[in-house]
Chain A
Amino acid sequence: MSDQISIRLAGQLGQFDLNVDFAAPMHGITALFGPSGCGKTTILRSVAGLNRIPGEIRVGGETWQNERLFLPTHKRPIGYVFQEPSLFPHLSVRQNLTYGARRTKAEHAIRFDDVVELLGLAHLIDRWPTHLSGGERQRVSIGRALLSQPRLLLMDEPLSALDRMAKDEILPYFEALHSSLKIPMLLVTHDISEVERLADHLVLLKSGRVQASGRLSDVLTAPDSPLAARSDFAAVLPGLVDRIDPDGIAVVKVGETEIYLLADSLSPGDSVRVRIAAGDVSIARQRAQDSSILNAVPVHILSIEPMGLSETGLLLGLPDGAGQFRARISRRSNAKLNLQEGDEVIAQIKSVSLLANR
């Protein structure tokens, strides 16, 4: 397949034993997610050629590594963003940005001025790395990677070394990157909120093995998803802004289901991504007439499984298979309502958050 990234690696790196085999599409953001020590950074470094683990790596029809071949890092058309910005301290911001560009023979489709504009670097261009904030440095290092005209962007927890403020400052640039450039990205992260907000595809990793991989919504809501047991579990649903009501409520359609959102920056026609946390969903047999809860949507129960000693997890489906999300309720409520798989119920969603406006 020439339109995908396929990665098969099996071997040891020091004490660590890696054995993975998965594919990711040549578009959108694929998140490699898992706890520290699961091998996600090792995989990313192997794709870059910085680690050498036996296996095969193919990207968009080109082989970068197999039994006979190992393309050295500087010959792979990648852009790598490290956890720490790692700017060259002896070069100015401008010289850092053009370091890779000057060494790239590929057509310069990504232009200097556009990257400066996209990442908001204009006022930093003649400064030195030591005089930048953490967030600014990371933006420069993203720009530097982009200007080397990569066919694949590799991001190793690019936000984790940043504080909350710097993170909030940089996330919108990531979303801009995603919508304005057509470069596929592998994003290593251990932060589920980054996955929910940014990823289109998800590879779940644990102890050097792939637990699940596929489209984000599929992996999140798969009945046996290893994520389902997390207390902070949330589903992510893609939707379209249908209209803005006079009282300021945005009506988002997920399939035929209407979801109401408090968001003032939307306009009709926007593609959005909404997040529904399992802990924010309660179940009723009938639509409550006198409730302050804005979102009460008809769903059917796809599966019921116990979670710990006192809770029950429900997988809920929207009509016409438009999407799935989860609810976490007490065992007592489950018994009281006598819920069965296949039941038609009302899901009351206490809060729906807007993740991204694409």
Chain B
Amino acid sequence: MGELWSPIRLTLELASITTVLLMIVGTPIAWWLAWSSWRGKEIVATIIALPLVLPPTVLGFYLLIALGPNGLGGWFGDLAGVRTFAFTFEGLVFGSVIYSLPFAVQPIRNSFEAMGKRPLEVAATLRASPWDRFVSVAVPLALPGLLTGAVLGFAHTVGEFGVILMIGGNIPGETKVLSIAIYDFVETLRWREAHILSAGMLVFSFAVILSVSLLARRARNRVPA
């Protein structure tokens, strides 16, 4: 059973940590993209959206170079006392955040833009400081978007394959996540294990898509005041 549980546990760990980081990194980016009047912001938005269309192997290739001893990974690795971040769990987290960022940023940005500036202006005239406005007005009003972003980011990380294969390899307990494990089981003709994991993913994906569409419907039903 360890062979089945280890990739599941690792995947959930990776997706959870990635989702938390996505929220921390993605929300300010989405905020900036929603409100900035800087003309170049769509270029930034495009760079963030690149993983949507790039083949995962291309993204994985560049990430591998970046994480490796001659890239950023080597530089940060010196500080942490390791040679490289490629083929490590930390490297996977980094890659997953980049890879899943557009899936989190887009719905959050949309919900900020749908909310509009007015509620924030109203809050400002009622003595709310910028941080207070964000917490007491923007977050509750954009909550469906924030939840959708989190769910999509989580789900997308769970389903990741190509990028992981490029930067993580196949180290049990360290980088061997679900999708890689399924591939492995099929390669070695262990159909029973592949069936169990694949069916689990099928149910999981169904639940994710259903919950996202229910969230979106709740957001639409919110009548603007």
Binding site for B on A (CB under 8 A): 48-50, 72-76, 78-80, 82, 84-90, 99-100, 103-104, 129-130, 137, 144-145, 148, 154
Smallest beta-carbon distance B201→chain A, Å: 35
> For B225, what are the chain A residues with a Cβ–Cβ distance below 8 Å?
85-89, 129-130, 137
User: Counting CB contacts under 8 A, is B119 at the interface?
Assistant: yes
A86 x B118 contact (CB < 8 A): yes
> For A73, what are the chain B residues with a Cβ–Cβ distance below 8 Å?
121, 124-125
The answer, among A49, A75, A90, A154, for a CB contact under 8 Å with B141, is A90
> For B220, what are the chain A residues with a Cβ–Cβ distance below 8 Å?
none
Q: What is the 8 Å Cβ interface bit string for chain B, positions 112-141, against chain A (1 contact, 0 not)?
A: 000000110111111111101100110011
Smallest beta-carbon distance B134→chain A, Å: 12
Smallest beta-carbon distance A331→chain B, Å: 51
What CA separation (Å) do A88 and B141 show in the bound complex?
9
Given the contacts A82-B118, A87-B225, A148 and B124 also touching, CB distance less than 8 Å: no
User: Counting CB contacts under 8 A, is B223 at the interface?
Assistant: yes
The answer, among A72, A89, A100, A154, for a CB contact under 8 Å with B224, is A89
> For B137, what are the chain A residues with a Cβ–Cβ distance below 8 Å?
88
Binding site for A on B (CB under 8 A): 118-119, 121-130, 132-133, 136-137, 140-141, 222-225
Identify the closest chain A residue to B115 (Cβ): A89
What CA separation (Å) do A103 and B133 show in the bound complex?
11
What CA separation (Å) do A270 and B136 show in the bound complex?
46
What CA separation (Å) do A188 and B141 show in the bound complex?
29
What CA separation (Å) do A130 and B225 show in the bound complex?
6
What CA separation (Å) do A128 and B223 show in the bound complex?
11
> For B132, what are the chain A residues with a Cβ–Cβ distance below 8 Å?
74, 103
Smallest beta-carbon distance A74→chain B, Å: 5
The answer, among B127, B141, B224, for a CB contact under 8 Å with A103, is B127
> For B133, what are the chain A residues with a Cβ–Cβ distance below 8 Å?
74
Smallest beta-carbon distance A156→chain B, Å: 11
A89 x B122 contact (CB < 8 A): no
B140 x A100 contact (CB < 8 A): no
What CA separation (Å) do A292 and B119 show in the bound complex?
56
B223 x A145 contact (CB < 8 A): no
Listed by A's residue number, 19 A-B pairs whose Cβ atoms lie within 8 Å are A50-B121, A74-B123, A74-B124, A74-B128, A86-B225, A88-B119, A88-B122, A88-B123, A88-B141, A89-B141, A90-B140, A99-B136, A100-B126, A103-B127, A103-B132, A129-B225, A130-B223, A145-B125, A148-B126
Identify the closest chain A residue to B224 (Cβ): A89
Identify the closest chain B residue to A154 (Cβ): B125
What CA separation (Å) do A100 and B126 show in the bound complex?
4
Identify the closest chain A residue to B133 (Cβ): A74
What CA separation (Å) do A144 and B127 show in the bound complex?
12
> For A100, what are the chain B residues with a Cβ–Cβ distance below 8 Å?
125-127
Identify the closest chain A residue to B124 (Cβ): A73
What CA separation (Å) do A79 and B127 show in the bound complex?
9
Identify the closest chain A residue to B122 (Cβ): A86
A103 x B125 contact (CB < 8 A): no
> For A82, what are the chain B residues with a Cβ–Cβ distance below 8 Å?
118, 121-122
> For A76, what are the chain B residues with a Cβ–Cβ distance below 8 Å?
125
A104 x B121 contact (CB < 8 A): no
> For A50, what are the chain B residues with a Cβ–Cβ distance below 8 Å?
121, 124-125
What CA separation (Å) do A230 and B122 show in the bound complex?
36
Identify the closest chain B residue to A81 (Cβ): B125
Query: Which of B124, B129, B225 counts the most chain A CB atoms within 10 A?
Result: B225
> For B121, what are the chain A residues with a Cβ–Cβ distance below 8 Å?
50, 73, 82
> For B128, what are the chain A residues with a Cβ–Cβ distance below 8 Å?
74, 99, 103
Query: Which of A50, A74, A130, A145 counts the most chain B CB atoms within 10 A?
Result: A74
What CA separation (Å) do A271 and B97 show in the bound complex?
70
> For B118, what are the chain A residues with a Cβ–Cβ distance below 8 Å?
82, 84, 86
What CA separation (Å) do A80 and B129 show in the bound complex?
16
What CA separation (Å) do A79 and B129 show in the bound complex?
15
Return the 10 tightest CB-CB contacts between A and B, nearest first.
A100-B126, A80-B125, A103-B127, A73-B124, A90-B140, A129-B225, A89-B225, A87-B225, A130-B223, A86-B122
> For B222, what are the chain A residues with a Cβ–Cβ distance below 8 Å?
89
Smallest beta-carbon distance B147→chain A, Å: 14
Smallest beta-carbon distance B103→chain A, Å: 25
The answer, among B125, B136, B141, B224, for a CB contact under 8 Å with A79, is B125
What CA separation (Å) do A80 and B120 show in the bound complex?
13
Smallest beta-carbon distance A19→chain B, Å: 24
What CA separation (Å) do A280 and B105 show in the bound complex?
64
Identify the closest chain A residue to B129 (Cβ): A74
Identify the closest chain B residue to A105 (Cβ): B127
Smallest beta-carbon distance A8→chain B, Å: 22
A86 x B119 contact (CB < 8 A): yes
